[in-house]
Amino acid sequence: MPDSESMISRHILPNYRIAVVGSGAVGCYYGGKLAQFGRDVHFLMRSDLDHVRKRGLRILSKQGDFHLQKVHAYGSTKEIGPVDLVLIAIKATANAALDTLIPPLLKADGSTMLLTLQNGLGNEEYLAERFGAEKVLGGLCFVCLNRVEPGVIRHIGHGKIEMGEFSGLPLPRTWEVQGEFKRCGVVCSVAGDLGLAHWRKLVWNVPFNGLSIAGGGIDVGQILADEDLLYLTRALMREIIGIAKTLGYEIPSSFADRNIENTKSMGAYLPSSLIDYLEGREVEVEPIWGEPLRRGFNAGAEVGRLEMLYRLIRRKVNAREHEE
Amino acid sequence: MPDSESMISRHILPNYRIAVVGSGAVGCYYGGKLAQFGRDVHFLMRSDLDHVRKRGLRILSKQGDFHLQKVHAYGSTKEIGPVDLVLIAIKATANAALDTLIPPLLKADGSTMLLTLQNGLGNEEYLAERFGAEKVLGGLCFVCLNRVEPGVIRHIGHGKIEMGEFSGLPLPRTWEVQGEFKRCGVVCSVAGDLGLAHWRKLVWNVPFNGLSIAGGGIDVGQILADEDLLYLTRALMREIIGIAKTLGYEIPSSFADRNIENTKSMGAYLPSSLIDYLEGREVEVEPIWGEPLRRGFNAGAEVGRLEMLYRLIRRKVNAREHEE
């Protein structure tokens, strides 16, 4: 007779088949954490496919390096087949690819969960329109990662996921997924209101990612050290809080100051959008600036600062692409 | 017995003693026009003083070059002494110098007129606070000028002055000064509302001077050719019109589109603030962006776009000065 603990464990622990779509730094890190703890994870890969098949996946982290020698890596989602949970971590600028990538991963009973770990606004809606809102969960990643070479991800700091149901309040499955992340060493919390969580994250992302590009390629320390950019950081944060309020998401105004205080300890940190910009990769202009602007504008909120930032960044990014 | 015409002329024509303070392109051009037609003009000069004393003043213009061999040029306003009319054309960033430059030019009877031809907002107020509002007139110059070398000004185009009384409606003296400009070949109109005239000019100056610097050193043609900058131009114009409205100055919203249409014919024109910026001279950040922003903010108008532009330009200009 099995002892009671193993019975409980067998009963409580889900036995998810998991696919990771988009095996950049975010996909490899969170998928890698789940695989490290024995979960059944299948990675869709492109450029790193052969390398990872031969040499595995390596995560370098202050919390402990680890190496997964045997990784289930595939060149298509058809080879992966239906799964219980999809972690979506492609660039939001490439969302159109999901139209064909996702269907082979869906179970016939409709129970597959689509958890997007992408930046900004609009990704959950994109999935909901195509595959049904009831499948969609959103996860906000507070993590500093860098892909240093094929199959090697450096985890620089943080790592928390804040996740929730696109359709509303947490369900039993929400807590199950959270539990799986926690049991695999990922700090994870369930958000009662995913929309509010997004807008809270935008309070930081809009000014710091934005001014780092608009300011000509500067880190968060340089933004905070400049009187005018610090002023604009605060003004943009307040404008985002105002837009959120108009949309029904209450964020206390003290949140702006707290965010600025917390950023002081980050030193010369380069926001991810700036790294994308500097390295010639696509910048997620629409999810971080464009979509928040459109929602604020349509709701009649004051959006002038965000509009300036969005247009100046869009122009810079387009100008860079024309130069290539 | 003199004939009636010369009697009328002697009676109607004022016989102003005129000082020009700030003998850059604007001061030399308008002072030069008055001197060309025989008016009693006295120029305060600094760097060009010796040159102009020896070689005179030369204006190059499609409307006809002219050369003033004998120019009354001085190194101090004490040497000039009291006058009837002062044309003020120093950079607004140097207004503090007026505290000592103006007093020697004032007549004991208080009748000296101070006509500022400077850019942006705040110059009339500066003079009014120190020397009395009743002395102050404002003139807006719509002119393209360049100082090409000591004592030589190139008149590129336009030239109109729109002038008015700081204290309100036109007085007899306002029409007299206008008449003098007109008789000396300067297109000049009297504004019923000087404040309104300023805000109408800002509708062009704020976006075009601003985006040419914030956009990294581009001409008005490049601004109009870029989808995002054209959008921001229109949005900034509408914001300025909105601020003006809040302050009681009605500008029709069609004025924005008309301004953009008219700018299309200007081709690769470089706004004056950009030239100042590129040539390392002081940029009139406060009169063109800072003061309009503060007035709009204090009146409770929506100022987000102007605030972004002001702060981004201020930072750029300060960063340039630190590099030197």
The last residue of one of the domains, among B167, B192, B217, is: B192
Q: Is A317 on the interface with B (CB under 8 A)?
A: no
How far apart are the CA of B215 and the nearest CA of chain A, in angstroms? 8
Q: Are B132 and B110 in contact (CB under 8 A)?
A: yes
Q: Is A321 on the interface with B (CB under 8 A)?
A: no
How far apart are the CA of A250 and the nearest CA of chain B, in angstroms? 21
Cα atoms in the Cβ-side hemisphere of radius 13 Å centred on B262: 9
Q: Are B306 and B289 in contact (CB under 8 A)?
A: yes
Same domain, B216 and B237: yes
Same domain, B130 and B233: no
Same domain, A53 and A70: yes
Amino acid residing at A64: G
Distance CA B111, CA A196 (A): 65
Sign of CA dihedral A119, A125, A128, A130: negative
The last residue of one of the domains, among A192, A222, A257, is: A192
The model's pTM is 0.90
Selection from A280, A215, A220, A279 nearest residue B216 by Cα:
A215
Structure tokens at B215: 């956009």
Catalytic annotation on A201? Answer: yes
Amino acid residing at B69: Q
- In total, how many domains does chain B have? 2
- Supply the pLDDT for residue A7: 46
ipTM of the complex: 0.88
Same domain, A283 and A144: no
Distance CA A102, CA A96 (A): 11
Distance CA B158, CA B160 (A): 6
A317 contacts: CB under 8 Å, gap ≥ 6: A213, A277, A283, A285
Same domain, B240 and B256: yes
Same domain, B319 and B277: yes
Nearest neighbour of A311 by CB, restricted to B228, B304, B314: B228
With 0-12 / 13-18 / 19 or more C-beta atoms within 10 angstroms meaning exposed / middle / buried, residue B188 is buried
Same domain, A97 and A175: yes
Q: Tens digit of pLDDT for each residue in A38-66? A: 999 999 999 999 999 999 999 999 999 99
Distance CA A113, CA B32 (A): 79
Alpha-helix runs per DSSP H in chain B: 4-12, 25-36, 49-55, 77-80, 98-101, 123-131, 172-183, 194-214, 220-225, 227-246, 254-264, 272-278, 285, 291-298, 304-323
Interface test with A, best of B206, B228, B306 (most A CBs within 10 A): B228
Same domain, A58 and A95: yes
- Confidence class for position A266, pLDDT limits 50, 70, 90: confident
Same domain, A246 and A163: no
- Supply the pLDDT for residue A96: 97
Q: Are the Cβ atoms of A304 and B308 closer than 8 angstroms?
A: yes
With 0-12 / 13-18 / 19 or more C-beta atoms within 10 angstroms meaning exposed / middle / buried, residue B272 is buried
Same domain, B112 and B201: no
Q: Is A302 on the interface with B (CB under 8 A)?
A: yes
Q: Tens digit of pLDDT for each residue in A71-112? A: 999 999 999 999 999 999 999 999 999 999 999 999 999 999
Selection from A310, A306, A191, A286 nearest residue A238 by Cα:
A306
Structure tokens at B255: 């004025």
- CB contacts of A307 in chain B (<8 Å) are 232, 235, 304-305
Q: Is B295 on the interface with A (CB under 8 A)?
A: no
Q: How many CB pairs under 8 A join A and B?
A: 65
Q: Are the Cβ atoms of B311 and A239 closer than 8 angstroms?
A: no
Q: Are the Cβ atoms of A304 and B309 closer than 8 angstroms?
A: no
Same domain, A167 and A266: no
The last residue of one of the domains, among B157, B192, B227, is: B192
How far apart are the CA of A247 and the nearest CA of chain B, in angstroms? 19
How far apart are the CA of B236 and the nearest CA of chain A, in angstroms? 9
Q: Are the Cβ atoms of B318 and A215 closer than 8 angstroms?
A: no
Q: Are the Cβ atoms of B315 and A214 closer than 8 angstroms?
A: no
What is the domain extent for residue B116?
4-192
- Supply the pLDDT for residue A319: 86
- The CATH number of residue B267's host domain is 1.10.1040.10
Instruction: Kindly state the helix (H) or strand (E) to which residue B286 belongs, with its residue range.
Output: none
- The CATH number of residue A36's host domain is 3.40.50.720
How far apart are the CA of A93 and the nearest CA of chain B, in angstroms? 19
The residue to which tokens 């990771």 are assigned: A20
Q: What is the pLDDT along chain B (324 residues), one digit of tens a residue?
A: 444 444 444 456 789 999 999 989 999 999 999 999 999 999 999 999 999 999 999 999 999 999 999 999 999 999 999 999 999 999 999 999 999 999 999 999 999 999 999 999 999 999 999 999 999 999 999 998 988 999 999 998 899 999 999 999 999 999 999 999 999 999 999 999 999 999 999 999 999 999 999 999 999 999 999 999 999 999 999 999 999 999 999 999 999 999 999 999 888 989 999 999 999 999 999 999 999 999 999 999 999 999 999 999 999 999 887 664
Among B33, B91, B135, B201, the one annotated catalytic? B201
Q: Is A214 on the interface with B (CB under 8 A)?
A: yes
DSSP B90-119: S-GGGGGGHHHHSGGG--TTS--EEEE--S
Same domain, B145 and B235: no
Q: Are the Cβ atoms of A312 and B235 closer than 8 angstroms?
A: no
The nearest alpha carbon in chain B to A231 belongs to B311
- Confidence class for position A157, pLDDT limits 50, 70, 90: confident
Nearest neighbour of A307 by CB, restricted to B214, B235, B315: B235
**Is residue A322 pLDDT above 80, yes or no?**
no
Selection from A220, A151, A169, A162 nearest residue A190 by Cα:
A162
Q: Tens digit of pLDDT for each residue in A230-255? A: 999 999 999 999 999 999 999 999 99
